[in-house]
């Protein structure tokens, strides 16, 4: 097993362990920001918070480097709170159980790890803390609430920072430099329903979709993974038509930016159709296993017999809800024409939840083309209007247009080749990086995004590769030593 204390990046790991020990899910960053402010005080690092809660740190240049451009190190401190259904964990009070595994990866125990973007923040802390690095003047920007709306980035005011070069440390493949990202848009659809007494002679079932991979709704959207909300709805559609099924409640997905891993529903079926319903579920399970054999080997679909619910949705409402979810776009909608292998436009049908007479459907739309993103929003609006549903499109944020003539890009390409003997890959990402929002406020910034290798972010399978963190740290240190002069 790798001893993290023996690595060049040992300080990064020490700081990351401290981050893991303090709860910091999105919108609940108070404990971790208080820790960071105290940490800065203890290490004689200049630090302050802006009105929204972002932390800004500053460090002077090392002797002889005062003439270099000021670089800004940036990461977000919040993490996506996802756990396996059998894991007891309270993200508001419990620390993340970080585990160093024999296969060279660091994981959590049944929850997300928070390497996205705790490693980036830990790297910024380590640079600010170190007294043996060579660098020009530095700033660090640690933002809040990136994962659920980029609130920290969208509320950063002009004039808060003085730097020229912006190094975002929130990418997830070591050896790749990102020069562009997708913009995003939140869609929330509310479909009303009424409940009525369950007809006599019905048998109850609780349908459970569990064990699916889920993942990051941008990074993983093209991997062919199942969306459990879509699969659940497909089963409900068939069961309504073939078995006279009646729906009582539905609950799938938990975060807008995570592909849904689980979905649950309570239904009632006429007793004389129970055998046909159970056969339908078995056949549907086999169909899903076949369709997703390569990507979802652990996916499970079961229908457990339960007491018949006292109420079910009125049939017209039920059909309207099922048809609406079926019609909503999901997954990759278009690939990029300008960059091979890049998803241009997508939609993640993230949450379907019935409560108090409303089924709420939450989606996250992404595109590197603003007009395409708007068109998907219009398409969803059309579906909602046909269903007599209410829709709101909110939280729009812009993409980040690549600049292939970027001076810091050229510097980092040369630095990477010098260190590792090969060229880094230059890419754009189908995910929302804060670069797009921040670049609108600070248009003079020369921006790059990079990071270590993190797999399966936004899911309990999240893991970060130890060797890649070491390479990322070495690359960051050497980059700072080669920042161009003013």
Helix (H) or strand (E) holding 213: none
What span, in angstroms and rounded, lies between the C-alpha atoms of 42 and 29? 20
DSSP string covering 376-421: HHHHHHHHHHHTT-EEEEEEEE--B---TT-HHHHHHHHHHHHHHS
What span, in angstroms and rounded, lies between the C-alpha atoms of 428 and 122? 24
What span, in angstroms and rounded, lies between the C-alpha atoms of 327 and 318? 14
Q: Are 76 and 147 in contact (CB under 8 A)?
A: yes
What span, in angstroms and rounded, lies between the C-alpha atoms of 117 and 320? 40
Q: What are phi and psi of 365, to 5 degrees?
A: -100, 140
Q: Are 184 and 256 in contact (CB under 8 A)?
A: no
Is the previous residue joined to 149 through a cis bond, with omega within 30 degrees of 0? no
Q: Are 320 and 230 in contact (CB under 8 A)?
A: no
**Residues paired with 56 in a beta bridge:** 48, 141
Q: What are phi and psi of 471, to 5 degrees?
A: -70, -40
What span, in angstroms and rounded, lies between the C-alpha atoms of 252 and 262? 6
For the chain, the distance separating the N- and C-terminal CA atoms, rounded to the nearest angstrom, is: 44
Q: Which of 449, 339, 338, 342 is nearest to 400 (CA)?
A: 449
Residues with catalytic function: 78, 146
What span, in angstroms and rounded, lies between the C-alpha atoms of 225 and 113? 21
Q: Are 454 and 115 in contact (CB under 8 A)?
A: yes
What span, in angstroms and rounded, lies between the C-alpha atoms of 24 and 463? 18
Enter the DSSP assignment of 301.
E
What span, in angstroms and rounded, lies between the C-alpha atoms of 413 and 398? 26
What span, in angstroms and rounded, lies between the C-alpha atoms of 465 and 472? 11
């Amino acid at each position: 097993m790798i001893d993290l204390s023996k690595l060049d990046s040992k300080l990064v790991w020490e700081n990351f362990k401290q981050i893991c020990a303090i709860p910091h899910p999105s919108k609940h960053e108070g404990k971790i920001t208080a820790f960071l402010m105290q940490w800065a005080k203890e290490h004689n690092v200049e630090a302050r918070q802006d009105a929204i809660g972002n932390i800004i740190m500053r460090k002077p240049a090392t002797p002889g480097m005062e003439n270099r451009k000021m670089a800004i190190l940036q990461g977000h401190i919040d993490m996506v709170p996802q756990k396996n259904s059998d894991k007891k964990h309270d993200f508001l009070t419990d620390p993340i159980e970080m585990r160093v595994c024999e296969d060279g990866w660091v994981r959590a125990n049944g929850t997300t790890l928070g390497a996205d973007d705790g490693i980036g923040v830990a790297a910024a802390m380590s640079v600010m803390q170190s007294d043996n690095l060579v660098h020009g003047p530095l700033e660090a920007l640690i933002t809040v609430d990136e994962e659920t709306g980029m609130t920290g980035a969208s509320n950063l005011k002009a004039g808060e920072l003085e730097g020229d070069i912006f190094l975002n440390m929130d990418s997830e493949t070591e050896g790749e430099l990102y020069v562009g990202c997708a913009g995003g848009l939140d869609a929330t659809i509310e479909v009303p329903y009424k409940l009525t007494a369950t007809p006599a002679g019905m048998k109850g079932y609780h349908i459970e979709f569990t064990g699916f991979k889920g993942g990051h709704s941008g990074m993983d959207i093209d991997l062919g993974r199942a969306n459990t909300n879509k699969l659940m709805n497909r089963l409900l559609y068939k069961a309504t038509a073939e078995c006279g099924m009646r729906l009582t409640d539905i609950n799938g997905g938990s975060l807008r930016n995570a592909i849904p891993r689980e979905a649950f529903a309570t239904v009632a079926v006429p007793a004389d159709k129970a055998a046909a319903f159970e056969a339908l579920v078995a056949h549907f399970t086999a169909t899903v296993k076949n369709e997703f054999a390569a990507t979802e080997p652990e996916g499970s679909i079961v229908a457990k017999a339960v007491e018949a619910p006292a109420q079910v949705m009125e049939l017209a409402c039920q059909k309207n809800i099922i048809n609406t979810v079926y019609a909503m776009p999901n997954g990759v909608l278009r690939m990029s024409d300008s960059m091979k292998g890049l998803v241009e436009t997508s939609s993640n049908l993230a949450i379907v939840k019935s409560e108090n007479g409303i089924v709420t459907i939450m989606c996250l739309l992404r595109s590197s083309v603003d007009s395409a993103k708007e068109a998907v929003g219009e398409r969803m609006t059309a579906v909602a209007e046909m269903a007599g549903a209410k829709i709101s499109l909110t939280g729009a944020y812009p993409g980040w247009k690549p600049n292939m003539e970027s001076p810091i890009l050229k510097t980092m390409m040369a630095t990477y080749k010098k260190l590792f003997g090969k060229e880094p890959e230059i890419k754009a990402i189908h995910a929302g990086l804060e670069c797009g929002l921040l670049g609108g406020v600070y248009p003079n910034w020369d921006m790059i995004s990079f990071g270590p290798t993190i797999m399966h972010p936004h899911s309990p399978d999240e893991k970060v590769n130890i060797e890649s963190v070491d390479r990322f740290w070495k690359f960051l240190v050497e980059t700072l030593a080669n920042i161009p002069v003013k």
